[in-house]
């Protein structure tokens, strides 16, 4: 039989999970664009992915070398290796794929075009009706745009 | 009358930047060049030495270096023939002081304020001041200056040797310049906002990356002329006689002057270039 304390912990966990779902549902999706030359192949399952155009905000994870070691940040080169947070960004736009160079536009108005060191990215895609689907893993170079736009509707 | 030494230093501490700049009004027959060059990443010492060296044969050229960005004023630029900058947006590397010995530096100035942007754009577009926007100026962080330069900036990657492999033989700034090589530099890049009226002067290839980018260009903006020269993270770029000659010619072209032969060409081949 569960104690009162355990029940409280469970309730708190459920509330947190629900509030997270509500928050995610409240946040507008992130626009993504696959590169035309991409085969859109999931790195884990090998299956060809639909041409998703939206992903769940807050679901992006980056991979430097191993797919079992996700990072919430990505490394980029600017007079040394720096860490970028996708939450600080308004837009990531691939401009020189042969050099892994992306244009970053920050929410604070700053911009930069560094080489991104992380090679892969995963996210929760949204179906055309806006429903979250199974997390997918692709090479950064499979995408050409991650448009975070504004966070609030 | 021009104040010098401690008198000027003392005046700087009490006069407003515009009032202080009034002391440097252009004299008859003078060519007035204002430079704002150098920061934490880009050594101001060699930049000033090289620029003064490149222009040293022109006795009627007065080259002023602005050591505190608040003194880059509309008043100072109002009769300037050529502005040369290598400054990305942000603070001066060191707070300026006239004191010869300091325990603490005063707070440093910020460059590319609204006042800087307005004065530079107005003097180039309306009065016809030349603007030589060198190296990191492209990351000024101000759309108006990017627009004046006619570019969208691209960041450099790792430092590496640089091959200067194409020179526009139809433009007076680069005609006759042949390919050369620099030991170490970074390679900024640009996308042009006005490609139909922008002239590519030269390109570089980053030797390790094999990345090919435009590194020099020019365009007319209103009544003025703008030249962008991206080399120069290190002094190696300026030690090369070919680049000195490009710089010399670019200064003349931006001021709509005839371009005399560069008299100071020094073939320094001691392994630095």
Q: What is the ipTM of this complex?
A: 0.78
> What's the confidence (pLDDT) of residue A123?
98
Residue B125 lies in a domain: yes
For an interface test with A, the pick among B157, B186, B234 (most A C-beta atoms closer than 10 Å) comes out as B157
Q: Is residue A97 less than 8 Å (CB to CB) from chain B?
A: no
> Residue A49 falls within a domain, yes or no?
yes
Angstroms from B145 CA to nearest CA on chain A: 15
Residue B150 has pLDDT above 90, yes or no: yes
B233 C-beta neighbours (distance < 10 Å), count: 23
Q: What percent of chain A has pLDDT over 90?
A: 79
> CB within 8 A of A17, min separation 6: which ones?
none
How large is the average pLDDT for residues A17-21? Answer: 47
Distances (CA, A) of B143 to A39, B137, B219: 37, 12, 17
Distance from CA of B24 to the nearest CA of A (A): 35
Query: How near does any CA of chain A get to the CA of B116, in Å?
Result: 19
CA-based nearest residue in chain A for residue B186: A79
Range from B105-119, B237-251, B252-266 carrying the lowest mean pLDDT: B252-266
Query: Cα dist. B6→B66, B70, B97, B98, B99 in Å?
Result: 16, 19, 11, 8, 9
Within-domain flag for B114: yes
B240: its two tokens:
């090369």
Rounded to an integer, the average pLDDT of B40-47 is 95
Residues of B in contact with A78 (CB under 8 A): 155
- The larger pLDDT score, comparing residue B127 to residue A2, is at B127
For the residues A7-33, what does the mean pLDDT come to? Answer: 62
CB pair distance less than 8 Å for A77 and B157 = yes
Nearest CA in chain B to A96: B211
> Given this model, what pLDDT does residue B13 score?
57
Cβ–Cβ gap A113/B141 under 8 Å: no
User: Which domain covers residue B108, as residue numbers?
Assistant: 29-154+189-203+213-254
Confidence check: pLDDT of A10 > 80 = no
- For A116-136, the pLDDT digits (tens) are 999 999 999 999 999 999 999
User: Is B88 a residue whose pLDDT tops 50?
Assistant: yes
Average pLDDT over residues B153-162: 95
Look at strands A73-77 and A61-63 and give their pairing. unpaired
Size of interface A-B (CB pairs under 8 A): 22
- Looking at the whole model, is its pTM more than 0.95? no
Nearest to B273 by CA among B180, B209, B186: B180
Query: Is residue A8, in this structure, part of any structural domain at all?
Result: no
| Residue B273 pLDDT exceeds 50 | no
Q: pLDDT tens digit string along B185-196?
A: 999 999 999 999
- Nearest residue of chain A to residue B90 (CA atoms): A110
The C-alpha R_g of chain A, in whole angstroms, comes to 17
Q: Please tell me the predicted confidence (pLDDT) of residue A45.
A: 96
Contact between residue B84 and residue B35 where contact means Cβ atoms under 8 Å apart:
yes
Answer yes or no: is A22 within a domain.
Answer: no
In the predicted model, what is the mean pLDDT of residues A83-112? Answer: 95
Residues B254 and B133: beta-carbon distance below 8 Å: no
Domain that residue A133 falls in: 28-147
Q: Is a pLDDT exceeding 70 seen at residue B219? A: yes
Domain tally, chain B = 1
What are the φ/ψ torsions at residue A126 (nearest 5 degrees)? -110, 140
Q: What is the pLDDT of residue B175?
A: 97
Write down the pLDDT at residue A16: 46
Judge whether residue B100 has pLDDT over 60: yes
CATH code for the domain of B52: 3.40.50.880
Contacts of A95 in chain B (CB under 8 A): 154
Asked whether residue A18 is domain-assigned, the answer is: no
By CA distance, what is B190's nearest residue in A?
Answer: A113
User: Phi and psi dihedrals of B269, rounded to 5?
Assistant: -115, 40
Asked if the structure places residue A78 within a domain, the reply is yes
pLDDT digits (tens, 9 = 90+) for A40-62: 999 999 999 999 999 999 999 99
Of B158, B189, B211, which has the smallest distance from its Cβ to A77's Cβ? B158
Interval B48-61 mean pLDDT: 94
Chain A residues close to B41, C-beta within 8 Å: 79
A122 domain-assigned: yes
Q: Which residues of B touch A79 (CB under 8 A)?
A: 41
User: What is the rounded average pLDDT of the residues A136-152?
Assistant: 91
**pLDDT on residue B21:** 86
Name the pLDDT band for B266 (thresholds 50, 70, 90): low
Please indicate, yes or no, if residue B20 is contained in any of the structural domains: no
Provide DSSP, B158-171.
Answer: S-EEEEEEEE-TTS
Q: How far apart are CA A93 and CA A104, in angstroms?
A: 7
| A53 assigned to some structural domain | yes
- CA pair distance B201, B190, nearest whole angstrom: 13
Average pLDDT, chain A: 87
Over 90: is that where the pLDDT of B1 sits? no
On the question of pLDDT at A138 being above 90, the answer is yes
Domains of chain A: total: 1
Q: Does residue B159 form part of some domain?
A: no
Q: Mark which residues 9-68 of A lie under 8 Å from B by CB.
A: none
């Amino acid at each position: 039989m569960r104690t009162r304390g355990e029940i409280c912990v469970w309730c708190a966990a459920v509330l947190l999970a629900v509030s997270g779902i509500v928050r995610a549902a409240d946040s507008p999706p992130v626009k993504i664009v696959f590169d035309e030359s991409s085969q859109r192949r999931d790195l884990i399952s090998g299956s060809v992915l639909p041409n998703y155009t939206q992903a769940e905000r807050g679901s992006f994870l980056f991979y430097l070398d191993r797919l079992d070691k996700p990072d919430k940040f990505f490394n980029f080169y600017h007079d040394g290796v720096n860490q970028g947070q996708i939450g600080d960004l308004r837009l990531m736009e691939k401009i020189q794929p042969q050099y892994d160079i992306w244009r970053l536009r920050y929410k604070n108005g700053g911009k930069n075009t560094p080489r991104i060191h992380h090679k892969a990215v995963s996210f929760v895609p949204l179906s055309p009706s806006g429903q979250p689907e199974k997390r997918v893993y692709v090479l950064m170079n499979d995408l050409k745009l991650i448009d975070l736009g504004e966070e609030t509707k | 009358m021009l104040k010098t030494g401690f008198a000027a230093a003392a005046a700087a501490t009490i006069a407003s930047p515009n009032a202080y700049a009034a002391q440097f009004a252009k004299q008859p027959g003078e060519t007035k060049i204002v430079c704002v060059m150098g920061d934490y990443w880009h050594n101001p010492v060699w930049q000033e030495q090289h620029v003064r060296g490149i222009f040293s044969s022109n006795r009627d050229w007065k080259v002023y270096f602005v050591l505190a960005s608040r003194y880059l004023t509309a008043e100072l630029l109002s009769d300037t023939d050529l502005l040369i900058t290598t400054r990305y947006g942000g603070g001066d590397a060191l707070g300026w002081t006239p004191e010869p010995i300091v325990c603490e530096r005063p707070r440093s100035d910020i460059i590319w304020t609204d006042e800087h942007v307005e004065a530079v754009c107005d003097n180039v577009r309306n009065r016809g001041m030349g603007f030589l926007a060198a190296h990191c100026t492209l990351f000024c962080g101000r759309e108006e200056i990017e627009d004046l330069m006619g570019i969208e900036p691209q960041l450099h990657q790792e430092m590496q040797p640089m091959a200067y492999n194409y020179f526009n033989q139809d433009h007076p700034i680069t005609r006759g310049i042949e390919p050369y090589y620099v030991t170490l530099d970074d390679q900024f890049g640009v996308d042009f906002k006005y490609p139909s009226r922008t002239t590519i002067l030269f390109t570089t290839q980053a030797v390790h990356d094999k990345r090919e980018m435009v590194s020099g260009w020019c365009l007319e903006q209103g009544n003025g002329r703008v030249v962008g020269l991206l080399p120069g993270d290190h002094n190696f770029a300026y030690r090369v006689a070919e680049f000195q000659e490009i710089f010399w010619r670019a200064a003349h072209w931006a001021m709509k002057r005839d371009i005399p032969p560069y008299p100071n060409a020094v073939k320094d081949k001691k392994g630095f270039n």
